[in-house]
Chain A
């Protein structure tokens, strides 16, 4: 019995390693390619580790573009849209979790359904609205659209976390005379902090990687790192090594953030999933 258990554990561990390597391999390959020359990047058969390592692609990328400006834009847009989104989503999820009405479920489903619409379907109306409001190529415009895009996910995630918190604790606070704002800030928020933190992290990542609106609503000054990567892609010409270097520079900050906060992220994503 114990032998079978041990064997199963070994098989699952091996499977997990294989799956993890499969998921990680594209990232590893991009990293290796970023240190190759353009010729070695497309060599047939491919070269894995034995090639002339070079930093020339990073130097070229750094020289050609203003990386720090794109990085600054990415940080402002992803953090700004997430923080404003949280300010809207926390009260909305609180109301739905603790004072539900007959239409709460329908409202939640309707909010989620807006995510199912392909963004390109509303590109022209959104573009025209942005043009009229003077929001084209502005960070505030991108913060607004990314906040609205990710709001349904934030509300849903927070709603799920809040539902796990016993209603009686909030009622006790109310009986002690807490106003709704105090109830939210001093009772609910501290108890739901892990959920709020994982919502924040996940939405920062979503906003960081968003490439439809950030590419279509920006021009020269407010493009984030998605625009930075897009400027290195070319269908006529083999510039894979340079593109890989640009990709590594673009994803490095978010990979580090994900690495540092992986416990919170995993906990947040699996919270309430197993009961």
Chain B
């Protein structure tokens, strides 16, 4: 080997050494622990093949813990995370504070026009998209077709609360351990209050009037909450005040619930014969309305990726977000895991796909539920807030959690519905005053 060759080799090595760090980026991605996100982590090998210069580090957490961690990180501009998974509750609040990078122009594969309009709107602030939806859900009614048949009932596609009550009374059979209805009773703004908020909206009520005065003692709240408490106390499973999504899912899959009204993501679980003992006896309908109002609660939740403004890897992060939420990913997930496992609720093209509709018998009702959800006008009267199963303002987490505790106590029989609402109204007024929404 000549000196010249050694010199050339050295130069090439030095050049490569300079070039590699310039191109490489390591992204820290914070995600929630659910089936779709875990599947995405497994399929990320495809992203690494396409972009070998971008490394991925995953931080997977339970959603409440994730929310606590990323909120403090994003609010204090620490920049520990390059891509963060949040819901449509956070997006408008964080965007308003300037904590997020806008996500317009994510490329042709992302195809913004293909997003469900309701989802895109819920992830935008002043017309600009700040989050890319990974999967989305609304709430639907799931029921046991065999029990309905035995009772001589037929579930309408758009049930009313009146019909639900009548059906629950007829299919409850305490001797056989069949509970007419399973609903969330566990306290929390994302637990029982997600359901109660939608119930109240469907009943014609609202959280706040246009001056941000809490309306928790209005007739609509009193009637809706009274109905909910009465239904669970008389026809719900024992310990309903501590049941959340998972507990009700276990009960429904074991054949103990006649009707379960909850997030549409449950549809794929209850129809999966590997998990559910009633997989082929499940029917679906929209979230009930009061009938005359035709308001189906406006439940809408979208787990979405955002890029914090403090990230130092914005371009690489945009590349990853475009891959994970683009049309190509849907094809990849379908190819690798089957059509039923493609993240639902975000793209119109998915619901136009014959393969998906065949693999997911609940696709039509989920699509309709998302379509009819109007988070900007969730109540019969005008409201100053956005959100159907939550209120997208910062104090809501605290208010929702405390009101949830009061209503959970009412379901447990420790207080009446009216007492719980009186305390809730007082707490909501105090918190809104502290947050300077009220004088």
* Residue ranges of A at the interface with B (Cβ–Cβ < 8 Å): 38-39, 42-44, 64, 123-124, 127-128, 131, 136-137, 215-216, 219-221, 223, 227, 230-239
Knowing A236-B245, A236-B263, A237-B246 are in contact, say whether A42-B72 is a contact too (CB < 8 A).
no
B72 touches A127 (CB 8 A): yes
SS class, residues of chain A in contact with chain B: loop
B78 touches A136 (CB 8 A): yes
Whole-angstrom CA separation of A216 from B64 in the bound complex? 12
B251 touches A236 (CB 8 A): no
B11: interface (CB < 8 Å)? no
Contact with A along B269-309 (1 / 0, CB 8 A): 10000110000000000000000000000000000000000
In chain B, positions 242-283 with a C-beta closer than 8 Å to chain A are 244-246, 249-251, 253-254, 256, 263, 265, 269, 274-275
B72 touches A234 (CB 8 A): no
Knowing A216-B69, A235-B244 are in contact, say whether A230-B80 is a contact too (CB < 8 A).
no
Residues of B near A137 (CB, < 8 A) are 80
A128 touches B76 (CB 8 A): yes
Interface centre among A42, A44, A123, A220 (most CB of B within 10 A): A220
Q: Would you list the 10 A-B pairs with minimal beta carbon distance, nearest first? A: A220-B57, A233-B62, A44-B254, A231-B60, A42-B250, A219-B80, A234-B33, A220-B28, A131-B78, A39-B275
Interface centre among A123, A220, A236 (most CB of B within 10 A): A236
B256 touches A44 (CB 8 A): yes
Residues of B near A128 (CB, < 8 A) are 76
B275 touches A235 (CB 8 A): no
Knowing A124-B76, A136-B78, A220-B59 are in contact, say whether A236-B254 is a contact too (CB < 8 A).
no
The size class of the interface chain B forms with chain A is: 35 or more
B33 touches A233 (CB 8 A): yes
Interface centre among A136, A232, A235, A239 (most CB of B within 10 A): A235
Task: Report the nearest A residue to B29, measured CB to CB.
Answer: A220
Residues of A near B72 (CB, < 8 A) are 123-124, 127, 216
B275 touches A238 (CB 8 A): yes
Interface centre among B38, B57, B63, B269 (most CB of A within 10 A): B38
Choose one: A216, A232, A236, A239; the contact of B265 (CB below 8 Å).
A236
A232 touches B250 (CB 8 A): no
B80 touches A236 (CB 8 A): no
Residues of B near A234 (CB, < 8 A) are 32-34, 62-63, 246
Whole-angstrom CA separation of A264 from B386 in the bound complex? 59
B12: interface (CB < 8 Å)? no
B150: interface (CB < 8 Å)? no
Whole-angstrom CA separation of A215 from B35 in the bound complex? 22
B69 touches A235 (CB 8 A): no
